[in-house]
Every structure is written in C-alpha cells, then in structure tokens.
Amino acid sequence: MSSSAFVDGTMVIFRLAPQDYHRFHVPVSGIIEQFVDIPGCLYTVNPIAVNSKYCNVFTENKRVVSIISTVDFGKVAFVAIGATMVGSITFTKKKGDHVKKGDEFGYFSFGGSTVICVFEKNSITIDQDLLINSTRPLETLVSVGMRLGVSTRKLS
C-alpha cells in the first residue's frame, strides 16, 4: 500500500492521556490488509511536545500502521503511536480479519499514547462541531462509538 493513496486526505488525531482508556477500537468496517511496524523513539505525546519544533512525535515515535480496506471510505490508515512508558502496542486482530466498526482493535500498556486515522481524499466529511473545536487550542473528549463524520461515498 502506497502512502500516495492518502495525499490530501483527512487526518483525525486522538491523544490519550495517562488517565484515559487505553484500548482502541476499529473506526470503520472492512478488511485488515496489512500491519507495518515502524521503530522509533518514545517521546511524550502531551500537547507541549506535540507542538514542539524540536521533534515530531507523530513521525519519530514507535508506531504500527494498519490499512483497512472499506466499502464506505476506501482505504483507511490506522496508526497506533507509542509514547513515554507506552512502548507496547498490541493489536487483537490480524491481517485478513473482517472487522466491524467498534470492534476492539488493540491496546496500549499504561501511559499516554496517540491514535491517528487517515482517510483517502474526499472520502469523509468531518462533523462541524469537531471542525470548530479543532480551530481552538482545546482538545475534544471523544468516546468509543461517538460519531466523527460521514462517508462522502454514501452520499453519492
């Protein structure tokens, strides 16, 4: 899978604080095509570090990328990123599994960590309230099962 499929796509970032629930769930229904382990650092993912000009935790930290092939969104990249005290990223699904939105996908061991979902260009419309919140220097609490947006493919 080439990263070019995600050029100009939509990215949603979920940062987990140490006190948060550290299991992650499948964001879309589909088939898991692959997992790619990428070694790296274990910098903290607190907002100060994320906004630092000295490191890019999203590209320098240890991460596992999974690609999910979907009917509604095309390809979706799910990126689990390790952080300080959370070098352990465990997936509970495997390549080739058929998954449903909301299924448990894996977990981080104790600490802070981040999940990023990247959608292909023009495949999702993010809900307006989340777009408005993203323009402010505040994080938005997201719970399992909360709607983030809708597939543009379903609309056409």
| 54-66 burial: b if 16+ Cβ within 10 Å, else e | eeebbeebbbbbb
Q: What is the pLDDT of residue 86?
A: 63
- What is the model's pLDDT at position 75? 95
Amino acid at 111: G
Tokens (6 digits) for 85: 């005290």
Nearest Cα neighbor of 50 from 3, 91, 84 is 84
The whole-angstrom separation of Cα 119 and Cα 75 is 7
Token readout for 106 is: 């894996």
Residues of the chain where predicted confidence (pLDDT) is lower than 70: 1-2, 43, 47-51, 85-87, 110-112, 154-156
Compute the distance between CA of residue 76 and CA of residue 36 in angstroms, rounded to an integer.
Answer: 14
Domain boundaries, the chain: 4-134
Q: Hey, which residues does 65 pair with through a beta bridge?
A: 36, 79
- pLDDT score for 109: 75
Q: Which amino acid is at 43?
A: Y
- 30: β partners: 99
Q: How many other CB atoms sit within 10 Å of the CB of residue 50?
A: 16
The CATH architecture to which 4-134 belongs is: Distorted Sandwich (2.70)
Residue 48, pLDDT score: 65
